[in-house]
Amino acid sequence: DGGITQSPKYLFRKEGQNVTLSCEQNLNHDAMYWYRQDPGQGLRLIYYSQIVNDFQKGDIAEGYSVSREKKESFPLTVTSAQKNPTAFYLCASSIVTGNTGELFFGEGSRLTVL
């Protein structure tokens, strides 16, 4: 079955630690995205990538980093510089590069800072 796999589903982090969230897709999509969702708020874009070895900052990139070494993989690192990292993180992909609203989402990773 084609889809997007995110891991881990739940993650606890101590303040000052970096953590990396995994996102793998076998849909053969070129574009991949990372969103953050906080309670009662819409999704906010952290980073996106339309092609291997290239990525762009979204609206809330500060304190985050990404890489896109393979088409299938788009990991997100939440660094210690992110002041309020507790949130639900969603990875998505799309067939279309450029502006599109037709996104396929993974199941999400819930990060809690202790």
Partner 1 sequence: QKEVEQNSGPLSVPEGAIASLNCTYSDRGSQSFFWYRQYSGKSPELIMFIYSNGDKEDGRFTAQLNKASQYVSLLIRDSQPSDSATYLCAVILIQGAQKLVFGQGTRLTINP
Interface positions with partner 1 (CB under 8 A) = 40-45, 59, 90, 99-108
Minimum CB distance to partner 1, residue 52 (Å): 22
Closer to partner 1 at the Cβ: 2 or 42? 42
DSSP-assigned beta bridge partners for residue 14: none
Minimum CB distance to partner 1, residue 99 (Å): 5
Closer to partner 1 at the Cβ: 16 or 98? 98
How many whole angstroms separate alpha carbon 58 and alpha carbon 78? 14
Minimum CB distance to partner 1, residue 87 (Å): 14
CA 31 to chain centre: 12
Q: Residue 35 burial (CB < 10 Å; 0-12/13-18/19+)?
A: buried
Closer to partner 1 at the Cβ: 2 or 16? 2
Minimum CB distance to partner 1, residue 84 (Å): 17
Handedness of CA 61, 65, 69, 72 (dihedral sign): negative
